[in-house]
Structure 1
Amino acid sequence: MPDLAPPHGATILVVDDDADIRDLIVGQLQQENYRLLGAANLAELRRYLKEEPIDLIVLDLNLPDGDGLSLCRELRADGSDVQIIMVTARGSAIDRVLGLELGADDYLTKPFEPRELLVRIRNLLRRGRHDPAPRTATMRYAQFGPWRLDLQQRRLIAPDDRLVMLSSAEFRLLNRFLEEPNVVLARETLLPERRATAAFDRSIDLQVSRLRQKLAAIPGGDELILTVRGEGYVLASGVAYS
């Protein structure tokens, strides 16, 4: 597919084996000054990633030559930080959590409102432009409660040096809590890219629940993340970096 917008905008790759859906999404995004590319399968997606600087992928999960979930896992394992919005007919909360844990930045269920996709793309691209420099550039560990978080290896370290691995979604969520300890964070603040639907998105609560279960594996970890009814969640601990 030829470029459909000037190259100075963000480059978005739309991956869907249904040409009508793919062209519909591309058509909806044309007015936003993005550089738009389209792919019908994983092979084309991989080719574009080798040849083009892609900022964001709108990724359908069911593709003729593989599963988008596996592709997402592969990209994160290779260290890719390209932003990914999964688009699929699989609508259960468990499916959404699985997609986010494998490294997706957001998740949309078909059918969806075109405006909602546009808002989520804007939020993700804005977040990517304005995120502060990562703390890992100068700091390795964040100590909170009985845990240490290895900011480079993205894993929890217990007092006895036992390691607990975190999914990409769990690490992002915990990192967000660590940025503002002892502050009540609304659900839309925890996941700003889904601000428009956070009030109704139960997958956020599932992610918090799974993170809590890992933190509760040692004494003193079960009361680190508290629920503030009607307001959100809070990390009830100080944080020290080293």
Structure 2
Amino acid sequence: MEKILIVEDDETLRGELSNLLSNSGYEVLVLTDFKNSKEEIIKLNPDLILLDINIPYLNGEVLLKSLRDDKVNTPVIMLTSSNKTIDEVLSISYGADDYITKPYNPTILLLRINNIFKRMKKSFDYLEYDDLKIYPNKGIIVKNGEEFYLTKNEMLIFTYLLNNRGNIVSRDDLMSYLWNSDLYINDNALTVNISRLRAKLYDMGYNDVIVTRKGEGYLLK
């Protein structure tokens, strides 16, 4: 589930945004400490930021520039009640991914958010499993900013189970898939790799998510 951080000091608008996003299936984070806004944003580590231009202590455009200067590349949609061209120009030049004026159309806002996440997935080529981001080409899984490394066999097994989530995958199917990926693996090696994959998922907080169905195969919950 993608995490969206709302940086908006207007309590009413903040509540409306929070309800809209949570009802649309996003995990909502809310910034309340505007005095230390940059530090709080980095600590919260959201997937996307909705940033109002007129926030206390630090102008939203200045905050955006400061984040980009610190190599924080989290996508940002600027929110503003101003229709001045200069605000849009500054926001985009400082690294905003999109810019929307208030009062906003909820459907349009959700579409723009969805488009950004689609571009991110295409760009970074990752899969998702609950709060895990899986990067098959890099052999890593990321959870809350922490990286976990899988071997090539472990990654191929996990992604195959993930692409068939909720369905039973036979051992023969898994071995055929690995053979087609130019990796030699026999029955014993598959058992060892499944065991190691389970142990690594356990370290990420996922226990018993790969279920063994005796005589049938495996199922990813």
Normalised by the length of structure 2, the TM-score is: 0.53
SS of aligned partner of 1:63: coil
TM-score scaled by length of structure 1: 0.49
Deviation at 1:116, TM superposition (A): 1.1
Question: How much identity, in percent, do the aligned residues show?
Answer: 34
- Is it true that 1:76 corresponds to 2:51 in the alignment? no
Ranges of 4+ aligned residues in structure 1 off by more than 4 Å: none
Deviations 1:153-190 (A, max 9, x none): xxxxxxxxxxxxxxxxxxxxxxxxxxxxxxxxxxxxxx
1:183-210 superposed Cα distances (whole Å, 9 cap, x missing partner): xxxxxxxxxxxxxxxxxxxxxxxxxxxx
Quickly say closer, same or farther: Cα 1:11–1:68, change in 2 above 3 A. same
- C-alpha contact 1:59 1:87 (8 A) present in aligned 2: yes
Greater relative CO (CA pairs within 8 A, separation 6+): 1
1:110 corresponding residue in structure 2: 102
Q: C-alpha deviations, 1:42-70, integer Å up to 9, x for none?
A: 33643432332211110001111110000
Q: Deviations over 1:97-118 (max 9, x none)?
A: 2110011110001111111111
Query: What runs of 5+ residues in structure 1 fail to find an aligned partner?
Result: 1-8, 134-242
Q: How many residues align?
A: 125
Report the AA paired with residue 57 of structure 2. Answer: D
Bigger mean CA deviation after superposition, 40-49 or 30-39: 40-49
**Local SS of the residue matching 1:131:** helix
Contact 2:35 2:56 in 1 (8 A): no
User: Aligned-residue CA RMSD in angstroms?
Assistant: 1.7
Change (3 A) 1:58 1:132: closer
Bigger Cα Rg? 2
- The 10-residue stretch of structure 1 (31-40 or 117-126) with the greater mean CA deviation from structure 2: 31-40
Q: Which runs of 5+ in 2 are unaligned?
A: 126-221
- Distance across 1 between alignment mates of 2:58 and 2:71: 20
Q: Which of 121, 128, 134 lines up with 1:129 in the alignment?
A: 121
Q: Cα gap change, 1:44/1:20 in structure 2, threshold over 3 Å: closer, same or farther? A: farther
Alpha-carbon distance between aligned partners in 2 of 1:41 and 1:115, rounded to the nearest angstrom: 29
CA distance in 1, matches of 2:33, 2:99: 19
Match of 2:8 in 1: 16
Paired position in structure 2 for 1:27: 19
- Select between 40-49 and 62-71 the one with higher mean Cα deviation: 40-49
